[in-house]
Amino acid sequence: MKEESDIAPEEDMEIIAKWNPIHYYIKFNSNGGSGTMTNQDFTYGVPQNLKVNTFTKSGCTFAGWAMSDDGEMEYEDGAKVVNLSTDHNAIINLYAIWRVDEQEIVYTATFIHNDGTGNTTTRTQSYGTALSAPTLTRSGYDFGGWNPEVPSTMPASNNTYTAQWVLQTINALNPVGLDMNSTSHSLTGYRGTTIDSTNPIPGWAYG
């Protein structure tokens, strides 16, 4: 005996397929931020705006949505999207992108005097603000700059700058004891060091 489903109908019948629209969902991930956002329901073929971001992160500004936690921006806040998936009940993850508000973060510049004399050893201030190095002195030395060079504005990082010093030199023209009948001669030495007075110049002797 044949099953009822196998029996051909006595009359022609029109059979119409019934299609249900694909539904998928967007899941919003804070990616290090604070707050909650519920999933958003989408229907395939129907454009819809993404929910406006409500996540927050201290010291940062929301910059859009990425498809991975370290990806590039794919969608702006509230962007209109359509057909992000062809799988029914699929979940599409979007991740918040955060940009650091560098103006709100302070950094420290540390100045190593390196035996020099001066007042300021550190400056703590916001990124991008004018940065000036302290004025230093050191007996017997000329200031030779900073290593590394101090920028004109505060960078977005903490940095240390060390003073460089160049030993001064002095000249003594016709020192006592040299043959004054000769042409002019000089003794050169670093300030603060001792010049050999017993025989300052090879081939010359005190008269």
pLDDT in tens, 59-77: 789 999 999 999 999 999 9
Locate the domains of the chain by residue range: 18-100, 102-197
Q: What is the pLDDT of residue 14?
A: 81
Are 18-100 and 102-197 in the same CATH fold? yes
Long-range contacts of 61-66 (CB under 8 A, 24+ apart): 61/98, 61/99, 61/101, 62/33, 62/96, 62/97, 62/98, 63/97, 63/98, 63/99, 64/97, 65/28, 65/94, 65/95, 65/96, 65/97, 66/94, 66/95, 66/97
What is the per-residue pLDDT across 150-162, written as a single tens digit (0 to 9) for each? Answer: 999 998 889 999 9
Stronger pLDDT, 123 or 191, i.e. the higher one: 123
Domain 18-100, second-level architecture:
Sandwich (2.60)
Q: What is the pLDDT of residue 191?
A: 54
The dotted CATH code for 102-197 is 2.60.40.4270
When pLDDT is cut at 50, 70 and 90, the band that residue 108 belongs to is very high
CA neighbor of 111 nearest in space, from 132, 92, 127:
132
Q: Taking residues 1-10, what's their average pLDDT? A: 60
Percent of the chain surpassing pLDDT 70 = 76
Among 15-19, 60-64, 154-158, 184-188, the range of highest mean pLDDT: 60-64
Q: What is the pLDDT of residue 15?
A: 81
The encoded tokens of residue 43 equal 């229907």
Q: Which residues contact 148 (CB under 8 A, 6 or more apart)?
A: 159, 161
Q: What is the pLDDT of residue 6?
A: 64
